[in-house]
Each structure stands twice: as C-alpha cells, then as structure tokens.
Amino acid sequence: MIDKLPTIYNGHDPGGCFWILPVKCHSTERFGWESVEECKSAEISLDELDVDGLLAYFFKKHFDKTLLYNQQRYDDAGGIKGICFPAAFEWNLTYNFYSYDAIRAMLNDIRLIMDALGSTGLDAVPQELSKDNKNWFFTFCDPSLDQAAAESLAYSNPSCVIDYYRQFIRCMDEMMDSYPNWPLISIMGP
C-alpha cells in the first residue's frame, strides 16, 4: 500500500522540510543571512524525505557553483565570521541559490522524466537518480516493506511520482511567473 503521498505545502513548514522561495541578495561581498531578502508570500515547503527521494538529484545537478552568490555564501550564526561553504549544494540551513534559467532547465529535466515514467514506468528513472538515492522507492511506500516489495509497489504506481513532479513544476512555474523581479530562487534544507 502507499503509506504517504509526497506533498508540497504552501508557506513555511518549520518541520523537517526544504523551503523554496524567491530571494534578492543585497551584497556582492561575502554575506550572511542578513544580506538575503526573502519573498515569504511565495514560499513552498517540501518534506525532506520527498526531496531526498525525488528531487535531490535535480537540485544537485542544476546547482551552479559558478553563480556569484553561491560562491560567496558564509554563515556567521555561530559568531564565526568568514567561514565559507564550498560551492556545492548544501543540505542543511544554507541558501542554495538558483537563477530562473537554472530552475527552468531543472523543470525541463523533470518533464523528461515524467514523460518517460508515463510511457515506460520506473524503468525510465536515470541510473544517476537511483544511484544518487538508493532508497528512493521508500519515499512514498510503506517503510515496513523490504526493498523488493517497495520497488514492486513503486513500479505499479508511477503516477504518484508523476503527480508529485507535475505539482512541483506548477508551483515553480507560478512562483517565477508571479515574482519576475526577484532574480533568484533559494532552496534551503532543514
């Protein structure tokens, strides 16, 4: 049985969620959280397990380490100024900045996976996606199932994945269309 369908929440869910919203950065120097203006009215929240199973591959693939703001992130929350994060996708409490073009490219990749899932089922999942997260079948299946049973259930229900991707694409398209003057999208994990 399907234990939990992946869900996208409008607004900020302070639990174990990823937060996605348009942002503006007000510094071209090294900056911390105070330099980032967030468009809270557009925020969506995604369960961390859903991201791990269904979106992390795309977030990592489309992270632009050459984007100035990704290169210059730092965290001074602990009173230690100037500790730089590597220019790579960060999972926990770090702004991961994406241009709208990068988000559009990500959504196009997801559309290709959706189309393949609709015609050939989960056999269409790229090897990199399943290799990136070996347990992605468990994301929307009963966690009491062993891997073989979970995979069998997932193979018979690709519509769960397709529906989630469709909802994610719609949310991201609406966000970018509604806030064209916000130059970046931030994806931040719990």
Backbone angles phi, psi at 20, to 5 degrees: -125, 130
SS3 call for 23: strand
The angle formed by the CA atoms of residues 58, 59 and 62, to the nearest 5 degrees, is 80
How does residue 186 score in pLDDT terms, banded at 50, 70 and 90?
very high
Give the pLDDT score at 77. 43
What does the angle CA 184 – CA 50 – CA 151 come to, to the nearest 5 degrees? Answer: 140
CA distance 4 to 6: 6
For residue 147, what are the contacts with CB-CB under 8 A and spacing of at least 6?
Answer: 135, 137, 138
pTM of the entire predicted model = 0.83
- 46 or 115: whose pLDDT is higher? 46
Q: Tell me, what's the pLDDT at 79? A: 46
pLDDT reading at 134 higher than 50: no
Query: Residue 78: its pLDDT value, please?
Result: 46
Q: Where along the chain do its domains lie?
A: 16-188
Using pLDDT thresholds of 50, 70 and 90, give the confidence band for residue 142: low
Question: Quick one: DSSP state of residue 29?
Answer: S
Question: Which band of pLDDT confidence, cut at 50, 70 and 90, is reported for residue 102?
Answer: very high
The lowest-confidence range among 16-25, 32-41, 151-160 is 151-160
Q: Which of 61-65, 100-104, 138-142 has the lowest mean pLDDT?
A: 138-142
48-97: pLDDT as tens digits: 988 887 898 899 999 999 898 887 776 544 445 555 556 789 888 889 99
Other Cβ atoms less than 10 A from the Cβ of 136: the count is 25
User: How many Cβ atoms sit within 10 Å of the Cβ of residue 30?
Assistant: 15
